[in-house]
Amino acid sequence: MPLNRRKFLKKSAVTGAGVAIAGAAAAPAAQAAEAKVPGRPVKQPKRYALTVLGTTDLHGHVFNWDYFKNAEYTDKAGNAQGLARISTLVNRIRAEKGRENVLLLDAGDTIQGTPLTYYYAKVDPITAKGGPVHPMAQAMNAIGYDAAALGNHEFNYGIETLRKFESQLRFPLLGANAVDAKTLRPAFQPYVIRTFCVKGAPPVKVAILGLTNPGIAIWDKAYVQGKLAFPGLEEQAAKWVPRLKAMGADVVVVSAHSGSSGTSSYGDQLPYVENSAALVAQQVPDIDAVLVGHAHVEIPELRVTNEKTGKTVVLSEPLAYAERLSVFDIELVFEKGRWTVESVASKVLNSNTVADDPKITKLLSDEHAKVVRYVNQVVGSATETLTTVEARYKDAPIIDLITKVQEDVVKAALAGTSYASLPVISQASPFSRTSEIPAGAVTIRDLSSLYVYDNTLVAKLLTGAQVKAYLEYSAEYFVQTAAGAVVDVDKLTNANNRPDYNYDYVSGLSYDIDIAQAAGSRIRNVTYNGAPLDDAQRFVFAVNNYRANGGGAFPHVASAPELWSESTEIRTRIAEWVTAKGVLDPKEFASVDWKLTRDGTPVF
């Protein structure tokens, strides 16, 4: 329900949202100092050192555990994951700096991303009467977070789940630009003010403003349309930061679930920038530091000059999955009756340098064990090993499994309707380069590793011409490669600019992708039922909700008529299909629908 704004502002102005850190000892830098010079003593100004710690894009990673591989997480870079590691780092810094001088923040995307979060959203949901406390709430409460911003993935399971999660937190979930669609008043707490006591000087007031991603309006339209709106980060920061300064904030920190690149994946579908954290720093005066999220990149320190004041604003993004911890060191000086930020510096710490905090391990060992048992349930058997290793450049049977399941579900859903006679085609992406369904017993974790997102299924109505335009856009994923040139599969795609999840197969058609041609002219020899594709032919397009709502900015699909949709995850539909079949045999779903060519000659 909308926030009682008048009551909230009054309370925050006095006590920092009702939470002041009272009785705190002064930081060493805040101690009075007397410096002697020849002839007379000179009194030095009071100083205070504040440390702000930050995580982002935790995506349900409590432990350094890969539920899809049923083993400790490892990668080539030697990274480690999980809040249990972050807790150890936080404890160390609090011991060094004094807990009373440290803030701990998060920049969003907390309750989606692993089987752990799925389990407590769908299998043993926190929304059930007498249901459990979400493991991420338990962990973050135990570590002692001060505030967190809303991420876009917070909305993936619906507003009821999000609100229940919010109620289980012992710190505020902030989103100044998540507003009631009708009143445009804040639907979540916009900010919080924390007060730090300094011996012999007035307290330091630190305001934390939370901002989330405008893309929620597209990506989770089914849950938020008509209920919530998400205006741009820059305009909302410009609205709130002056208010925070007027309330006496000496330091303003923004926790933004928005990358720093200034780009948007959704093109012109929204009038707001997706990755606008640096624009906020550049355009809005009086911000001292920005904790960046959403982009899953590592930024130890990015300095942005505010165009109105010339002041430097420091940004940091701690990668994702609790692999890093951002550390902002903020120095203040008390002169002329007020605190002034003298300097800000940031860095990131690597969680692979420490062990798990045994307190977190003990706290959540039971929840972890339940999820491990769940994902290791056997639901069928496979006649051969299926893998995504080559799926981004070859039509792989493992992706055909996804498209086949989607086709079957949509056909069943439309049976008896006026659309039942239309051909169904289906879209899927090679999300992972390492997913494997082994020959023999097939478990839920095998199938979950194939479809790592909690997407749901939608049926859209497209014409043949629109489908071809869709394929052309998808084919931009590949690097133009001249006929006869050496093909390096690791350099064959534009993965840096177009991630694998934004490359789509389309089943039910046959087509070539000529990568010797320029983008926009690559789709050749498109046929349906052995005949050239008719531009006017109507198709039912089975597509995930992310793409159906405009994710990836694929043409036509977002505006196409919607024939049907559901709330059951595609991952669940795959598990149901395999369970019903009992045996996973590629003969039932595999087909070569597309191939890469160069001037008509197959690449592979």
pLDDT (tens digit per residue) in 528-584? 999 999 999 999 999 999 999 899 999 999 999 999 988 788 999 999 999 999 999
User: What local confidence, expressed as pLDDT, does residue 28 receive?
Assistant: 44
Between 590 and 3, residue with greater pLDDT: 590
**What is the model's pLDDT at position 55?**
98
CA distance readout (Å), 168 to 51, 132, 171, 367, 391: 26, 10, 9, 16, 41
The sign of the dihedral angle between the CA atoms of 9, 10, 13, 18 is negative
What confidence score (pLDDT) does residue 189 get? 98
Could you give the percent of the chain with pLDDT greater than 90? 87
Does the structure show a pLDDT above 90 at 42?
no
Q: Are the C-beta atoms of residues 346 and 314 closer than 8 Å to each other?
A: yes
Q: Catalogue the E-assigned strands of 56-118.
A: 65-66, 71-72, 102-106
pLDDT, one tens digit per residue, over 373-409 is 999 999 999 999 999 999 999 999 999 999 999 999 9
Radius of gyration of the chain (CA): 26
Enumerate residues 6+ apart whose C-beta is below 8 A from 293: 56, 57, 107, 108, 109, 149, 151, 255, 256, 257, 258, 259, 317
pLDDT tens string 299-326 = 999 999 999 999 999 999 999 999 999 9
> Which residues are CB-neighbours of 503 under 8 A, at least 6 positions away?
392, 429, 430, 474, 477, 493
Task: Kindly tell me the number of DSSP H helices and DSSP E strands found in the chain.
Answer: 15, 33
The set of residues, in sequence order, having a beta carbon less than 8 Å from that of 199 and lying 6+ positions away, is 25, 26, 30, 31
Choose among 339, 344, 314: nearest CA to 250: 339
Confidence (pLDDT) at 345: 98
Beta strand ranges found along 77-141 (DSSP E): 102-106
Residue 5 — pLDDT band, cuts 50, 70, 90? Answer: very low
* Cβ atoms 334, 45 nearer than 8 A: yes
Looking at residue 27, its pLDDT comes to: 44
pLDDT grade for 495, boundaries at 50, 70 and 90 = confident
Is the pLDDT reported for residue 1 higher than 90? Answer: no
Q: Mean pLDDT over residues 224-236, rounded?
A: 97
Average pLDDT over residues 471-488: 96
* Residue that the structure tokens 């990131």 belong to: 348
The region that residue 218 occupies, defined by phi over 0 for left and psi between -120 and 50 for alpha, beta otherwise, is: alpha
Q: How crowded is residue 41: how many other Cβ atoms within 10 Å of its Cβ? A: 9
Helices 135-143, 159-168: axis angle to 10 degrees equals 30
Strands (E), 306-393: 312-318, 324-335, 338-350, 378-382, 386-387
Task: Give the tens place of pLDDT for each residue, 161-220.
Answer: 999 999 999 999 999 999 999 999 999 999 999 999 999 999 999 999 999 999 999 888
* Average pLDDT rounded to a whole number, residues 239-261: 98
Strand boundaries in 397-455, DSSP class E? 424-428, 436-437, 440-443
Predicted confidence at residue 23, as pLDDT, reads: 34
**pLDDT tens string 277-293:** 999 999 999 999 999 99
Instruction: Quote the pLDDT of residue 30.
Output: 43
Cβ(24)–Cβ(100) below 8 Å: yes
What CA–CA distance (Å, rounded) separates 257 from 152?
Answer: 8
- 449: CB partners within 8 A, 6+ apart: 68, 69, 432, 434, 435, 436
| Band of residue 37 on the pLDDT scale cut at 50, 70, 90 | low
- The answer to whether 69 and 340 are in contact (CB under 8 A) is no
